[in-house]
């Protein structure tokens, strides 16, 4: 995709790889490349699921503070919109997305992990929203996605204090969904493979139904229950126009394995 974000596809699973050593600091160029990568994986029919990965040693240690330190209010008023749209593009990928978290996922790195549907972390991973220590707040979804994920009280504790949490505490509070015990010197491969295994289960799955489920859940979180139930009802009914629904129900009746087409 560019100098700092690489996109690879293997057997239906895409990997969006952050590659800006040493800490994958999310500068403006990297944000733009993330948006482009999200757009491509959303459109490509050969991609069923996505892994977000920062590499063996670190997921992303946050935004590029040196770059931000030179920005005025006018600069950031414009750039913050671009930052939000980049992360929103990842969050709106209409396919299952899993973050494979090694090392630090701090600030913008933690916010990027929050855009995924599932987070798998190395036992040595460290997560947090330390922006308050810079005199600012999270600006790429941290105050919103984190509160929705772990509840407002826990989110306020992390954001108000800026403290970092290890993988076990992150698991206990629901910030991550799975912790992989790793060799501290080689944490990346085991976490990445765990994420790929989770993503791979959707390669031959009913893609229309997966897309509908993700959309209904995500949209439903932002509305009242009655509206959410109507979103679900419409999506449920619409799936009766798909080949995959016919295939899945026929396979159930005939006690055979479905071979979904994604149509």
Tell me the CA distances in angstroms from 188 to 63, 103, 219, one per residue in order.
21, 9, 33
Phi and psi dihedrals of 99, rounded to 5?
-95, 130
Q: Which residue(s) pair with 128 in the sheet?
A: 106, 164
Find the helix or strand (DSSP H, E) in which 187 lies.
Answer: none
Question: At CA 232, angle to CA 231 and CA 235, rounded to 5?
Answer: 90
Q: Do the beta carbons of residue 10 and residue 199 sit within 8 Å?
A: no
Query: What CA–CA distance (Å, rounded) separates 209 from 12?
Result: 17
Measured distance CA(29)–CA(23) in Å, rounded: 15
Contacts of residues 38-45 at CB distance under 8 Å and 24 or more positions apart, as own/partner, are 38/86, 38/89, 38/90, 38/92, 38/93, 39/89, 40/1, 40/7, 41/7, 41/14, 41/16, 41/93, 41/95, 42/89, 42/92, 42/93, 42/94, 42/95, 44/9, 44/14, 45/262
Residues catalogued as catalytic = 111, 131
């Amino acid at each position: 995709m560019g100098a700092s974000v690489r996109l690879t596809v293997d057997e239906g699973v895409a990997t969006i790889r952050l590659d800006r050593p040493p800490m994958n600091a999310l500068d403006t160029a990297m944000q733009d490349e993330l948006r482009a990568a999200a757009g491509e994986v959303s459109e490509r029919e050969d991609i069923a699921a996505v892994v977000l990965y920062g590499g063996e040693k670190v997921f992303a240690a946050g935004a590029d503070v040196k770059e931000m330190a030179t920005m005025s209010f006018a600069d950031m008023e414009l750039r913050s919109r671009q930052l939000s749209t980049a992360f929103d593009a990842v969050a709106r990928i209409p396919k299952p997305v899993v973050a494979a978290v090694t090392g630090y996922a701090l600030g913008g790195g933690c916010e990027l992990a929050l855009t995924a549907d599932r987070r798998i972390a190395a036992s040595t991973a460290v997560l947090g929203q330390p922006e308050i220590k810079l005199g600012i707040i999270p600006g790429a979804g941290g105050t919103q996605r984190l509160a929705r994920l772990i509840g407002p009280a826990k989110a306020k504790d992390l954001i108000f204090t800026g403290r970092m949490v290890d993988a076990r505490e992150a698991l206990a509070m629901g910030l991550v969904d799975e912790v992989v015990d790793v060799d501290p010197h080689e944490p990346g491969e085991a976490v990445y493979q765990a994420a790929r295994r989770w993503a791979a289960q959707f390669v031959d799955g009913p893609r229309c139904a997966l897309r509908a489920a993700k959309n209904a859940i995500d949209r439903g979180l932002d509305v009242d229950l009655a509206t959410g139930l109507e979103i679900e009802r419409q999506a449920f009914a619409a799936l009766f126009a798909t080949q995959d629904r016919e295939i899945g129900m026929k396979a159930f009746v005939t006690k055979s394995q479905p071979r979904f087409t994604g149509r």
